[in-house]
Amino acid sequence: MPQPPPLAVEGGESAPFTVERHEPVCRVVARAIVPGPTLHWEVQAEVSNAGEGKLAVVLSAGGVFTRRVLEPREQGVEIALGPAILGEESGLEIMGDEALGGQLVIRRASVRRLLGVNLLPHASFERVESGRPVGWRAGTITKQAQCTIASAPAGRTGTHCLKVACTKATGGDFGTTLSWPGIAASAVERRFRMSCWVKTDAASVAGLQLTSRDWRWHQTTPRLRSVGKWAESAIEFVLPAGQNITHARLHMSAEKAGAELFVDDVTLVELP
């Protein structure tokens, strides 16, 4: 593979690629480190296949990846990836599997900051498996309060929303936890806005909570009560330098078993 042009970094200095060839497995890998603090980025690359055989290309960064298979001599294929956590020692990698006779050519690659983009996956509850929204699970928070979760129709803006039903009311809190990569600690402080839309009865409250890995740092939107129509609960906050966000969950309580709470359009966006 010819030496690719440097990685273009929006608002910063470009970063050179280093290229390694692994001959026994006919694999070529180009790596570039994004300079500066750890932040969220969108990655874009344009690649071509200069060979006579098929070429598998993997673009990976910050623990996420995507894979494309290029046909022989296929040119100008666009690949995008985001949100990816890059900076400091974390970089991006473009790998080409040339075992079938393909040859990787990187035409260009660039990264740009992700601002105003929702960083939470499965945030609108539209993907459903076995009657439950994908990516979310029910759990107890305090005093053994318990709940179940299910997909419900008539979401705020789409087809589905999340329904949480209290199955054991103890005066404690229950909730639903999201499976997601989290926010890595950065050397600089960052501003975010978090929100969720909820419907509850007069005896139940619901809001969105983010916490650190050790649970010592947390932010929670106002927990709304007695809202029969969709209402937004939101706050803006500053994430201190060196602080991570690992847990994202809906933080709820109810005074009686059988209470039902509804949630839709959960968001976490970074602000300029």
pLDDT digits 0-9 by tens, 148-191: 999 999 899 878 999 999 999 999 999 999 999 899 999 999 99
Could you report the per-residue pLDDT of 70-80, keeping only the tens digit for each? 999 999 999 99
Rounded Cα distance between 33 and 4, Å, is 14
Q: What is the average pLDDT across 187-216?
A: 96
The tokens of 18 are what? 């280093």
**CA-based nearest residue to 36, from 80, 85, 109, 82:** 85
Count Cβ neighbours within 10 Å for each residue of 243-261 and write b for 16 or more, e otherwise.
bbbbbbbbbbbbeeeebbb
Dihedral class, residue 202 (left if φ above 0, else alpha if ψ from -120 to 50, else beta): alpha
Q: What was the pLDDT predicted at 228?
A: 85
- Separation CA 225–CA 233 (nearest Å): 11
pLDDT for res 218: 96
| Contact in structure between 82 and 92 (CB atoms under 8 Å) | no
Phi, psi of 24 (to 5 degrees): -55, -30
User: Which numeric CATH code is attached to 128-271?
Assistant: 2.60.120.260
| Res 173: pLDDT | 97
Q: Which two tokens stand for residue 103?
A: 């040859």
Tokens read off for 11: 């608002």
* Cβ atoms 197, 258 nearer than 8 A: no
Task: Compute how many other C-beta atoms are within 10 angstroms of the C-beta atom of residue 181.
Answer: 14
Question: How do residues 41-52 score in pLDDT, each as one tens digit?
Answer: 999 999 999 999
Average pLDDT, integer, range 236-252: 97
| Domain locations along the chain | 8-113, 128-271
Average the pLDDT over 211-236 and give the result.
94
d(CA 133, CA 126): 7
How many other C-beta atoms lie within 10 A of the C-beta of residue 165? 18
Reported as a pLDDT band with limits 50, 70 and 90, residue 2 is confident
- The band of 63, judged by pLDDT with boundaries at 50, 70 and 90, is confident
Asked whether 145 and 113 are in contact (CB, 8 A), the reply is no
Q: Given pLDDT bands bounded at 50, 70 and 90, which one contains residue 238?
A: very high
8-113 belongs to which CATH class?
Answer: mainly beta
* Mean pLDDT value across the chain: 94
> What is d(CA 221, CA 36) in angstroms, rounded to the nearest whole number?
31
Residue 162 CA to its chain's centroid (Å): 19
- Nearest-10 Cα torsion for 40, 44, 50, 56: 60
Dist CA 136 CA 148 (whole Å): 11
pLDDT over threshold 90, residue 89: no
Same topology, domains 8-113 and 128-271? Answer is yes
Query: Are 206 and 161 in contact, with CB atoms under 8 Å apart?
Result: no
Q: What is the pTM of this model?
A: 0.85
Mean pLDDT within 81-89: 85
Given pLDDT bands bounded at 50, 70 and 90, which one contains residue 1? confident
Q: pLDDT above 70 covers what percent of the chain?
A: 100
